[in-house]
Amino acid sequence: MAEKAFIFDMDGVIIDSEPLHARAKKAALREFGLDLEVDDLYFAHYVGRSAKSFFCDIAAQHPECTASWETMAAKKHEIYLKLLTEDESIEAIEGIRELLARLKANGYKIGLASSSVLNVVRLVLTRFGIIDYFQCITGGNEVTHAKPSPDIYLLAAQRLGADPADCTVVEDANAGVRAAKAAGMHCIAVYNPHSGKQDLSMADQIITRYEEIEL
């Protein structure tokens, strides 16, 4: 019998971090003289995608800024880590610990595939005391093509030793849902209002609470 696996996104699924990402991006842009009036709808377009996607587009739209996308992304990363470390109000999304415990008790392999870089992923999982649930952790800096490409989910499945068809992905963003389906995986989309208006219609199931997931 094939071993079943659950693979989780992180931002918006384990940590309600999209507001933090938006704050860090705005602060980073200001560091390079770009005090942009960007709204939540603009940021929603980049939910679940890499920092490279965001800052490459910014660089293309604002040629007056001479900083490279790599420099801007590094500054955003620095600011985000500071927020993540110092803001004591940040908590894991309600119900995620209980879901991970249920999955472990039922013999599922558990992996994580995040567009965030590995040091951020490990910081978040360690802070919440849940890192030991995960048999593999895959970061966005480990693949060439970011979500909605399936690369990161296929790499996570390979590391878990699971067939993609036996994997269930938990996502909150359109790009992530598309990546999971392109990888040939079952996808459960969790609605998170802080992730902006996301088209989750490609998911196999849409939920609002983790208690809705039946194993």
* 35 is a catalytic site residue: no
Q: Phi and psi (nearest 5°) for 113?
A: -135, 100
Q: How far is CA 72 from CA 175, 204, 207, in A?
A: 22, 36, 35
Residue type, 163: D
* 11 is a catalytic site residue: yes
Candidates 9, 16, 151, 172; catalytic one: 9
Candidates 11, 16, 151, 172; catalytic one: 11
CA distance 75 to 24: 9
Q: Which residues are catalytic?
A: 9, 11
